[in-house]
Every structure is written in C-alpha cells, then in structure tokens.
Homo-oligomer: A and B are copies of this chain.
C-alpha cells in the first residue's frame, strides 16, 4: 500500500502537513525472518507495512505467544516505546520479505508540537488503534475459539496461506492441537 494512502486513511491532511510527515519517512526492506523489534528495548521508530506480513509475540514461560498480526497498510508500533518511551515487551518478526516505511519517533514528536494538523493526525492514529484493540478485547472475551478463528480468517483472508498454524493458535489463545480440532469440525 502506498504511503499517501496510508497517511490519508488515518486523517486527511493538507499537502503541506503531509509533506512534513513524508520528509521524516524513509523506505526500508528486510528479509523474511528479520526481527524488527526486540523485547526489553526502547524502539526509536514506528513503521507502516508497504508489502508483507508480520507478527508480534512475547514469551510465556518458554512459549512464544503471538498477539498481533500486521498486513499491508498496518502500522507496526511498540506502544510502550511510542507512548511512554519505555521498553516494550514484544518481539516483532517479519513473516515474509517486507517493504516498510520507517518514521522516526523523535521527528514525529517534534511535528506534533509544531503543526496542529499533524497533532490531530497523531490523535486520530491513536484513536484508531484503540478501536482495533477494543475489538480484539471483545472478541477474546465474548467469542469462543471457533468464532475467533472464523473472524480472524475473515479479517485476513490470506493469513492461512502466509502464516503457520502454531502462530494462529497462540493468537487465538488455544493450543495448536485445539486449533486442529476446530479446523476438523469447521470444514
């Protein structure tokens, strides 16, 4: 997905303000398997996915638990770093060769204080992340694993072709064996 579209989908900006953001963005490429964010580290950038797919995970005992998937157009953010300038608790792994837009937080924070339109863009960016997070919360609390599985496929139609089932199972909060049983029943 192209940069202009990603920025405008969050909050429409004048050309002038958009150019200020774009001047702080560079395009970067990484290979499949690259670890973009490391847990217990303060991240200095946020990213937007131009092409590819990624996941965030953390460890519970020795198990990796995936709690986020990102696809084209989605932001990749360590919220603890972005909001509080503190260490994050997640690794982010790229699941395919990826093209990303990188935005340095320091420059963005400066723009927030200088340009009211960009401040409102940043406000809207955060608000949209709340909505995503709230939807996920409600899905975890109100739906059973089968419903969550079907909803996930609905949101990310190509996910099954791009991500291994063990990651999907941990995202759903169940074991891979339970996911197999669900798939056997749903088919």
> Copies per complex?
2
Which among A116, A138, A140 has the highest number of chain B CB atoms within 10 Å?
A: A116
Quick check: A173 and B116 within 8 Å, CB to CB? no
Counting CB contacts under 8 A, is A149 at the interface? no
Interface size on A, residues (CB 8 A): 33
Interface segment out of the listed A23-31, A44-52, A92-100, A118-126 = A118-126
User: Please, how many angstroms separate the alpha-carbon atoms of A16 and B90 in the complex?
Assistant: 40
Which among A116, A120, A141 has the highest number of chain B CB atoms within 10 Å?
A: A141
Pick from B65, B122, B131, B141: contact of A123, CB below 8 A: B122
Chain B residues near A141: list those with CB within 8 A.
Answer: 65, 67, 140, 173
Counting CB contacts under 8 A, is A83 at the interface? yes
Q: Give a binary string over A50-61; 1 marks a CB under 8 Å from any B CB, 0 the rest.
A: 000000001010
Q: Looking at the assembled complex, report how far the CB atom of A27 sits from the nearest CB atom of chain B, in whole angstroms.
A: 26
With A126-B126, A131-B83 as contacts: A137 and B138 at CB distance below 8 Å: no
Instruction: Give the nearest-CB partner of A138 in chain B.
Output: B67
Chain B residues near A80: list those with CB within 8 A.
Answer: 131
12 A–B contact pairs at CB < 8 A?
A58-B142, A67-B141, A82-B127, A83-B128, A84-B131, A89-B138, A112-B120, A112-B123, A113-B116, A115-B116, A123-B123, A130-B130
